[in-house]
């Protein structure tokens, strides 16, 4: 989590701070505890940093006003040490000769710090990161250059990191490296860039190099050189990102989340273009006896929908495992198992750990939104969802794009033309579901009082209920639980009363009657029921307190792709009612690069 950027401009007379500030602002979704910039000018490292959101800190420090034509910057999501000015990056050694920004966790920092203190180093922060500039300085004092001091440093530190460093003893360059945390290098017209994620630099560079673990990248004003661990120059492939800078802007919307909710029809439409690629992957994979999904959070809910589809429509036994719990299931994998990793970012540490294990025994497939991310580089097969950059921390358009890929995969695997035809109608259904915004806004005002919610779904829409509850929890801070509608009576029904709204996801289909009985159960215990159901369902309108209507042609099999939209909108508008920022939920970051 945390975000890092760096830039060195070709023109010595240009100032880098406004560019660094612009780039790092684009990564605020990765961390918003604090921000800091370091530039080099006139034999000195200049630093401005503090805790707080970017705009607050900028108001105080005027971050774009710093001298120099190269530098580094950081946004923090605290792991070691409170959010505070001292704990903010960049961190320096005691002589201010080396400045470092870091994304990741140094697991053995305490023992390193102890040893460095014994050797006379003086520390100012509680962070794990601060050992890095001290180690680099120590090796530079021993006579190593910046590159080799970093090389020696990464021999000592354990954990996950993307690091960028500048030094007064070797000016006019930025040196960077990574292991298990993302890092991309951008080749632009005006200069060279590094970043944790592409939205940071889209405006300046779309030709990208992806450094691998342990490679050292040296950026100076003449270009970028990458060295492997034996100091050999590596000829890296340059890949061009097809996202535009505008795609990572709010484009007139109040928040990224609502912009991204509105982009869902197009995200599905664009992802449907992957049909031929998916067919090719299916052909290459060949026989599969079992499928195992591995994912976290929203991507886990997409996977769970995949299980319902694969088992009921393709007859393939399917498991869904939380990536952080994967190691307990790893020894059940074999070469006939396809392990599917679903991830928006492609950088989730829990998923990456599991992927490395799965690669040893099984065929692996990544369903990923971010091109060039670690999962796309490590999985044996890749389906690229076409949602465009997602900036809001709460996943929305990437979720429907993940679902679209899964539906396509299942439809092609089971030769289900009817399902393929239905999928082509989904963009229109989603667009139509967005017409009810005023009604959802008004409902949100009324439901905003609650401290707890239940979300119920059955069959294909049980994962939809889980996702609805997650969206509510993460941005409104209201406690919510998603439940299989039939399971409520086995315990949680005891909690139901007039203070707990129950959101019932009830599309037309085989499960309708049973779910309706569950709705009546909670209604008769006094719950307020908000239902999402078919527009022609008169008995639902008679029974529920409020009904959000979805096109009656959306049956239960494709319902997960459409019924989730009003659930996202409810969470969004309740968040606004409460006065919170839906794009930056507290304690959360977009990309979770720690285990
Ligand atoms: O990037 P990933 O899809 O691997 O991320 C997994 C979860 O961290 C993520 O889905 C998270 O639950 C969402 N931000 C929730 O909206």
Atom of ligand 1 nearest to the CA of 297: 12
68 φψ region: left (φ > 0), alpha (ψ -120 to 50), beta (else): left
- Mutation test residue for ligand 1: of 257, 324, 344, the one with most atoms within 8 Å of CB: 344
Average pLDDT, the chain: 96
Q: Is 269 an annotated catalytic residue?
A: no
One of 2, 23, 292, 296 is an active-site residue; which one? Answer: 2
Output the residue whose Cα is nearest ligand 1's atom 4.
Answer: 343
State how far the Cα of 440 lies from the Cα of 41, in Å rounded to an integer: 54
Atom of ligand 1 nearest to the CA of 394: 16
Q: How far is the CA of 575 from the centre of ligand 1 (A)?
A: 19
- Mutation test residue for ligand 1: of 257, 324, 346, 348, the one with most atoms within 8 Å of CB: 348
- pLDDT value of residue 455: 98
Does 310 contact ligand 1 (Cβ within 6 A)?
no
Q: Which of 450, 435, 463, 442 is nearest to 546 (CA)?
A: 442
- pLDDT value of residue 430: 98
Q: What crossing angle do the helices spanning 397-413 and 559-578 adopt, rounded to 10°?
A: 170
CB burial of 251-261 (b: ≥16 within 10 Å; e: otherwise) equals eeeebbbbbbb
- Structure-token match 């950088």, residue found: 347
* Residue 75 token pair: 């946004």
State how far the Cα of 464 lies from the Cα of 507, in Å rounded to an integer: 11
State how far the Cα of 531 lies from the Cα of 541, in Å rounded to an integer: 9
Pairing type for strands 337-343 and 290-295 reads parallel
- pLDDT value of residue 458: 97
- pLDDT value of residue 591: 81
Which residues face 532 on adjacent strands?
A: 505, 548
Provide Rg for the chain, Cα atoms. 25
Burial of 240 (0-12, 13-18, 19+ CB in 10 A): exposed
Task: Report yes or no: 212 and 378 within 8 Å, Cβ to Cβ.
Answer: no
Q: How far is the CA of 322 from the centre of ligand 1 (A)?
A: 12
Mean pLDDT by runs of 10 across the 595 residues of the chain is: 94 93 94 94 97 95 97 92 93 96 95 97 95 98 97 96 97 96 96 96 96 97 96 96 91 96 98 98 96 98 98 97 95 95 96 96 97 94 97 97 98 98 98 94 94 97 98 97 95 92 97 96 94 97 97 97 98 97 90 81
Q: Which of 267, 561, 557 is nearest to 418 (CA)?
A: 557
Does 394 contact ligand 1 (Cβ within 6 A)?
yes
Within 10 A of 117 (CB to CB), how many other CB atoms are there?
12
Q: How far is the CA of 337 from the centre of ligand 1 (A)?
A: 24
Atom of ligand 1 nearest to the CA of 590: 14
Q: Which of 226, 495, 549, 255 is nearest to 396 (CA)?
A: 255
Q: Is 2 an annotated catalytic residue?
A: yes
State how far the Cα of 1 lies from the Cα of 79, in Å rounded to an integer: 9
- pLDDT value of residue 79: 82
Does 344 contact ligand 1 (Cβ within 6 A)?
yes
Q: Which of 375, 586, 583, 351 is nearest to 477 (CA)?
A: 586
Helix/strand/coil (H/E/C) assignment for every residue in 526-575: CCCEEEEEECCCHHHHHHCCEEEEECCCCCCCCHHHHHHHHHHHHHHHHH
| Residue range 22-31, pLDDT digits in tens | 999 999 888 8
Q: How far is the CA of 363 from the centre of ligand 1 (A)?
A: 23
- Positions of E strands within 282-410: 290-295, 318-322, 337-343, 363-368, 381-384
State how far the Cα of 73 lies from the Cα of 47, in Å rounded to an integer: 9
3-class DSSP state of 209: strand
- Mutation test residue for ligand 1: of 30, 261, 298, 567, the one with most atoms within 8 Å of CB: 298
DSSP secondary structure string for all residues of 63-100: TT----SEEEEEEE--SSS-SSTTTSSPEE-TTS-EEE
Atom of ligand 1 nearest to the CA of 402: 3
| Residue range 449-474, pLDDT digits in tens | 999 999 999 999 999 999 999 999 99
3-class DSSP state of 199: helix
Output the residue whose Cα is nearest ligand 1's atom 9.
Answer: 297
Q: Which of 19, 24, 36 is nearest to 83 (CA)?
A: 36
Does 395 contact ligand 1 (Cβ within 6 A)?
yes
Within 10 A of 520 (CB to CB), how many other CB atoms are there?
12
């Amino acid at each position: 989590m945390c975000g890092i950027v760096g830039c060195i401009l070709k023109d010595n007379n240009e100032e880098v701070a406004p560019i660094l500030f612009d780039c790092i602002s684009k990564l605020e979704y990765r961390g918003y505890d604090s921000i800091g910039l370091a530039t080099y000018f006139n034999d000195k490292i200049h630093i401005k940093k503090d805790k707080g959101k970017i705009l607050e800190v900028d108001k105080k420090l005027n971050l774009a006003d710093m001298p120099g034509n190269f530098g580094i910057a950081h946004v923090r999501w605290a792991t070691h040490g409170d959010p505070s000015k001292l704990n903010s990056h960049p961190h320096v050694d005691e002589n201010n000769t080396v400045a470092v920004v870091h994304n990741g966790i140094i697991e053995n920092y305490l023992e390193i710090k102890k040893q460095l203190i014994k050797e006379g180093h003086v520390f100012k922060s509680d962070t794990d990161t601060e050992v890095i500039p001290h180690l680099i300085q120590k090796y530079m004092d021993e006579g190593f250059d910046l590159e080799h001091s970093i090389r020696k440093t990464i021999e000592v530190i354990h954990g996950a990191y993307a690091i960028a460093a500048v030094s007064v003893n070797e000016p006019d360059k930025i040196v960077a490296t990574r292991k298990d945390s993302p890092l991309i290098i951008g080749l632009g017209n005006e200069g060279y860039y590094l970043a944790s994620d592409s939205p940071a630099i889209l405006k300046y560079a779309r030709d990208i190099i992806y450094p691998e673990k342990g490679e050292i990248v040296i950026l100076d004003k003449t270009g970028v050189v990458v060295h492997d661990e034996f100091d050999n120059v590596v000829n890296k492939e340059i890949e061009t990102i097809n996202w535009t800078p505008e795609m990572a802007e709010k484009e007139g919307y109040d928040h990224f989340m609502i912009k991204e909710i509105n982009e869902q029809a197009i995200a599905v439409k664009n992802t449907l273009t992957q049909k031929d690629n998916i067919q090719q992957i299916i052909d290459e994979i060949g026989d599969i006896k079992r499928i195992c999904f591995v994912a976290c959070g929203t991507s886990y809910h997409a996977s769970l929908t995949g299980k319902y589809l694969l088992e009921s429509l393709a007859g393939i036994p399917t498991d869904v495992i939380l990536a952080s719990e994967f190691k307990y299931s790893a020894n059940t994998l074999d070469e006939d198992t396809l392990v599917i990793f679903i991830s928006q970012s492609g950088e989730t540490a829990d998923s990456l750990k599991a992927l490395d294990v799965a690669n040893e025994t099984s065929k692996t497939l990544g369903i990923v939104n971010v091109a060039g991310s670690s999962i796309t580089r490590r999985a044996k097969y890749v389906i690229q969802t076409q949602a465009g950059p997602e900036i809001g921390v709460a996943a929305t358009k990437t979720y429907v794009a993940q679902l679209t890929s899964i539906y396509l995969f299942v439809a092609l695997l089971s030769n289900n033309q009817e399902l393929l035809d239905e999928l082509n109608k989904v963009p229109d259904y989603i667009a139509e579901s967005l017409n009810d915004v005023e009604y959802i806004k008004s409902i949100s005002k009324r439901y905003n009082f609650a401290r707890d919610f239940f979300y119920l779904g059955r069959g294909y829409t049980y994962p939809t209920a889980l996702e609805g509850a997650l969206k509510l929890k993460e941005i409104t801070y209201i406690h919510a639980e998603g439940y299989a509608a039939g399971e409520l009576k086995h315990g949680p029904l005891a909690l139901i009363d007039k203070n707990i709204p129950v959101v019932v996801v009830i599309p037309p289909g085989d499960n309708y009657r049973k779910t309706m009985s569950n709705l009546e159960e909670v209604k008769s215990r006094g719950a307020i029921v908000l239902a999402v159901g078919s527009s022609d369902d008169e008995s639902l309108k008679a029974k529920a307190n409020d009904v959000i209507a979805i096109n009656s042609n959306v049956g239960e099999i494709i319902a997960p792709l459409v019924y989730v939209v009003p659930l996202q909108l409810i969470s969004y508008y309740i968040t606004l009612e409460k006065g919170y920022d839906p794009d930056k939920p507290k304690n959360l970051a977009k990309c979770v690069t720690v285990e």
